[in-house]
Structure 1
Amino acid sequence: MPPKKDIANLLIDAALKLAAERNWHDVTLIDIATEAGVSVADCYDHCSSKGDLLRRFVKRVDREVLADIDSEDFNEPGHDRLIAVIMARFDILSDYRPALRSIINAGGDLGPADGLRAIKTHFGAMRWMLEAAGFQTAGLHGSMRVAGLTAVYAKTFKHWLDDDSTDFGPTMAYLDRELSKAANWDRQVEKGFGRASSICGKIGKRCRNFSFKKPSRDGDATPAETPSDQATSSTTNS
């Protein structure tokens, strides 16, 4: 029996092997456990579904990409870093293309719950890819960047699946064009957020000024009236 820590990877590798050999929809968890050489009970302990194994595979790929990053890479322009990160991901996935084609053709064979988890996993993966390339992903603007890269990656992934070149040059050229389009969109969003922030600041200032000058009830001092003003007013009236 393999060590417990290796069982998850054995199951992932077995699942991908079977996906490359047959229709992913027809592959069962029992088939995967048998191919991996682990008991059904151990399979149960390490995964809840085929979708769970796919999410673990995505996380494994994420880790391989991130483990290959050098601090010197951050001296390059962000656009180039992002291309390098995404292409490194495709290089890792290249050995699994037959399996990935089978899985894509079957729509992942995911139910609604697994489908939502898969979306969350891919958003998380793209957030890490952006961070690895030196981009900010916090806040609303960051979330929009993640969503944008997820869309770019999905389109490029389909292109890559049919790219039979040895160096994936056509895929890189396609990715370059799509990221350039996304960068233009990102700059417009950034300007929009800047204008919105400026407008909100002006509105906030006017609201504070209005509150400061608001007339008070009879007999009460207004916010703009100081105790010395009140004393002067009382002396004058008497």
Structure 2
Amino acid sequence: MNEHKTSSGSGAEEEAGDLTSPPKDPREAIVEALLELASERNWDDITISDVATRANLSLSTFRDYFPSKGAILASFFRKIDKAVLDAPNADLAGEPAKERLFDVLMRRLDALAPYKLGVESIFDWTRRDPIAAAAVNRLTVNSMRFMLEAAGIESEGAVGAVKLQGLALAWARILPIWFRDDDSGLATTMAALDRELTRGASLVARAEDLNRLAAPLFTLTRSLFDSRRTSRQRAEKEDAGI
């Protein structure tokens, strides 16, 4: 298992960075505001007016960028995806798929770290609200598609769908462990992620075996369907005198 290190900077450096950094664009300010508020209160207690006020924007400007809190959350997921995809890649080209994916997902946790309290609040919301859970699952599946691709792992087709949903569910089991892991090296989280990926690899192997076994049946079914459709079309033409 890889050793994981998190970067840190001095308060003076962070303060200097704040003084020299350009103002956030409204979209970024809104995303940051929502995550800040989520770290302070329950999701259901946050209004779009609260978010606009925290972002120091008018409600009209807010509306120019987002129609709802859910849309902001989707933008946050894309922001984290981009942070992972833009991060320098370790040279893992010759490593097994599991190790490559492990590295990508640890980079994702690094990108989420500044928003840990807000992410935990959002996670708690999904456990209380089945509709929220389904919506966040869709966002997670979309993100995991890019995580798999970043790791050089196929994500298309029937088996790809199994990988995506399986990884999204595994991620939902990893996050609560990460929320409680105060170790700077994230040893507990890393061990849990390693176990999840090992179990996931076994399930994917079974899905691939099933897909290979079922492929001839699917081909035969499709052939029969196409044959019947061709016969029906020919009969319709004959009835029409064509």
Give me the TM-score of the superposition, normalised by structure 1. Answer: 0.76
Higher relative contact order (CA 8 A, sep 6+): 2
Partner residue, 1:21 = 40
Choose which of 57, 60, 67 in structure 1 pairs with 2:76.
Answer: 57
The answer on 1:153 being equivalent to 2:153 is no
DSSP-derived class of the 2:211 partner: helix
Choose which of 115, 122, 127 in structure 2 pairs with 1:96.
Answer: 115
Partner residue, 1:227 = none
DSSP-derived class of the 1:75 partner: coil
Deviation above 6 Å: which 4+ runs of structure 1?
108-111
- Greater shift in the superposed pair: 3-12 or 134-143: 3-12
8 Å CA contact 1:51–1:110 kept in 2: the answer is: no
Distance in 1 separating the partners of 2:123 and 2:100: 28
Choose which of 15, 18, 28 in structure 2 pairs with 1:9.
Answer: 28
- Going from structure 1 to structure 2, the CA distance change for 1:48 and 1:18 (only over 3 Å counts) comes to same
Distance in 2 separating the partners of 1:70 and 1:194: 33
Matched residues, number:
201
The answer on 1:197 being equivalent to 2:236 is no
The Cα shift of 1:198 comes to 5.0
The Cα shift of 1:137 comes to 0.9
- Going from structure 1 to structure 2, the CA distance change for 1:195 and 1:33 (only over 3 Å counts) comes to same
The Cα shift of 1:197 comes to 2.8
Q: Could you say what the CA RMSD is over the residues aligned between the two structures, in angstroms?
A: 2.6
DSSP-derived class of the 1:18 partner: helix
Deviations 1:23-54 (A, max 9, x none): 33222111111111111101011111111111
Distance in 2 separating the partners of 1:101 and 1:187: 32
8 Å CA contact 1:103–1:109 kept in 2: the answer is: no
8 Å CA contact 1:51–1:108 kept in 2: the answer is: no
8 Å CA contact 1:69–1:132 kept in 2: the answer is: no
8 Å CA contact 2:126–2:133 kept in 1: the answer is: no
8 Å CA contact 1:12–1:54 kept in 2: the answer is: yes
Choose which of 30, 37, 42 in structure 1 pairs with 2:49.
Answer: 30
Distance in 1 separating the partners of 2:113 and 2:191: 17
Determine which structure has more spread, i.e. the larger CA radius of gyration: 1
- Going from structure 1 to structure 2, the CA distance change for 1:73 and 1:31 (only over 3 Å counts) comes to same
Distance in 2 separating the partners of 1:108 and 1:48: 24
Distance in 1 separating the partners of 2:107 and 2:168: 16
The answer on 1:42 being equivalent to 2:61 is yes
8 Å CA contact 1:20–1:102 kept in 2: the answer is: yes
Give me the TM-score of the superposition, normalised by structure 2. Answer: 0.74
Partner residue, 2:93 = 74
Distance in 2 separating the partners of 1:135 and 1:156: 20
Partner residue, 2:16 = none
> Structure 1: any 5+ residue segments left out of the alignment?
208-238
8 Å CA contact 2:141–2:165 kept in 1: the answer is: yes
Deviations 1:79-136 (A, max 9, x none): 1010111111111111111112222233388794x66543322111011111111111
Distance in 1 separating the partners of 2:128 and 2:204: 34
